[in-house]
Chains A and B, each alone.
Chain A
Amino acid sequence: MPKLPAPPVPAPLKAPPPRPGKGNGASGPLDHAASAGITVVDWVDERTSLSGAARWMLFRKVPKGTNWFYALGSATMFAFLNQAVTGVFLAMYYRPDASGGAYESIRYVTNNVFLGQFVRGMHKWGSSVMVVLVFLHMGRTFFFGAYKYPRELNWVIGVVLLILTMAMSFTGYLLPFDQRAYWATQVGVNINGTGPLLGPYLSNFLLGGSEFGATTLSRFYAIHMLLLPGLIAALIGAHLYLVAKLGTTAPPWKKADKPQALRETEV
């Protein structure tokens, strides 16, 4: 039977070897199911070598003192996944129609669709959760000094992800197309316009013309659900690659253990 190389699982979690005299390997239906699973995984692995990549990504050495603060990055990623999944299903009902259809479709999702209010709520509140988590993750990285050499590039990617998250929040805010959405977008676009020289052009790019018009909403919708999610997903991939490649830092209060010999000579 083909066998995967064993991952470095701690000893208490390892399955005990079968007792002598109890038969050798596949005997019960459970064993047959397990060997079928291993065969399928092995078939894929033989053709892709993915198991090595998966173990490189998942079974890493982490420094002493790793604590719950280190989960903020994963939490942010799961907030993004929540946004992606609920966003896909909201898009099945949403109509980016500025002459009233957009508001009507959101009203329909909220009032008539089974679990519509709940899924829309998950998307709406999830966006705030994601922004909060991004900042907490950034704060953790800053206060633990985890942005220093050789992790500067990961900090830069993280800052780009922060900006893209804000752009997601800004473009998503218009989509319900109620009074708040409309006026908040007017204000937001005009704030963009206060950048000297290029500001007015940026505003006109966002509006799709010189005034808030028929294409502004569809433009925001396309940016919100096609352009930015792709960019964010790609950059999260790069961010995670660098985390796995460079490893995580120990918290600043953890000092490296010195060899006994060095400790004795210290005054």
Chain B
Amino acid sequence: MSDKHAKHKPKYTLERQIPGAFEGETITRRRFMTGTAHGAGAIAASAFLLPALGFAIGPIFKSVPEHWEVVGTVGDFPDNNYIPVVLTLAPGIGEAGKTTVYVRKFNPELDTDPYDKNTPYIAISSRCAHVGCPVRWVDASLRFICPCHGGVYDLLGRRVGGPPVRPLDRFYTRVSGENVEVGPRFSVNSQLRHFSPRLPGEPLDGIGQYLYPSTPGQKI
């Protein structure tokens, strides 16, 4: 009672008038036993909880190996129109692991942004930057159009209408012999500056690039 809340408790249990106290004892056996039992329980619980938790959230931190895929030969792609090609993002799960990418040859008159200087081909992801529906290239209007919520993008993949928060993502390209290869995905902001790949719906202009960090699995 008054002992419990006293500012200066005597160091030894004997001095605190605890029944059955031993000489030189600083903690009661009851208190020690309670602490030990709780500690043992906590250790036992974390022995299965921590590995299970790590197992569940581990994939977040796993980096994906760089993957290049041949999509055609150099003659297949004009420089003023897009050709759809199918890319495998996740192998082993059939159609669900594939995505459509629109590819055209680099056109110095169109692609005047300094960031695009060294790409031989422009490969634009069909994943809408709003919430990830598949956009299609409409040749007649020179627009990418999303069927879900009406996102519209121009020839360079920049948003011209609807809810998307950034331009369409792109893929790195390279020429190997006669073959055109498409590699990792990257995201661009409205100035077409390159960023590590983000998920749809995550803006990259202004503060957006800090509010929506690229996760370790997506770093390139």
- A interface residues (Cβ-Cβ under 8 A, vs B): 98-100, 177, 182-183, 186-187, 189-191, 193-194, 196-197, 199-201, 203-205, 207-215
Contacts and interface: CB of A to CB of B under 8 A. Distances in A.
Contact of A204 (B59, B131, B201): B59
Given A187-B148, A193-B200, A213-B93, 5 more contacts: A190-B132, A191-B201, A201-B60, A211-B89, A212-B96
B217 A204 contact: yes
Given A186-B132, A187-B132, A190-B132, A196 B97 contact: no
Contacts, number: 95
A178 to B, nearest CB: 11
Nearest to B58: A208
Given A99-B93, A194-B201, A215-B59, A200 B131 contact: no
A189 B200 CA distance: 9
Given A177-B96, A182-B96, A200-B198, A211 B60 contact: no
Interface string B158-201: 00000000000000000000000000000000000000011111
B126 to A, nearest CB: 12
A187 B151 CA distance: 14
Given A186-B132, A209-B64, A210-B64, A203 B199 contact: yes
A199 B212 contact: yes
Main secondary structure of the interface of B (DSSP, over half): loop
B100 interface: no
Given A199-B212, A205-B57, A209-B217, A214 B132 contact: no
Nearest to B217: A210
A208 B211 CA distance: 21
B92 A214 contact: yes
Contacts of A187: 131-133, 148
A50 to B, nearest CB: 28
B214 interface: yes
* Chain A CB within 10 A, most for which of B90, B134, B199, B214: B199
A199 B213 CA distance: 9
Interface residues of B, number: 32
Contacts of A177: 96
B94 interface: yes
A204 B148 contact: no
Contact of A196 (B96, B212, B217): B212
A112 B89 CA distance: 34
A148 B20 CA distance: 49
Contacts of B89: 211-213
A210 B97 CA distance: 12
B69 interface: no
B52 to A, nearest CB: 11
A177 B94 CA distance: 12
Contacts of B213: 197, 200
Contact of A100 (B94, B132, B148): B94
Contacts of B56: 205
B105 to A, nearest CB: 27
A196 B132 contact: no
30 contacts: A98-B97, A99-B93, A99-B94, A100-B94, A177-B96, A187-B133, A190-B201, A191-B201, A193-B200, A193-B212, A194-B202, A196-B211, A197-B211, A197-B212, A200-B202, A200-B213, A204-B60, A204-B215, A204-B218, A205-B57, A209-B60, A209-B62, A210-B64, A211-B64, A211-B90, A212-B90, A213-B89, A213-B93, A214-B90, A215-B59
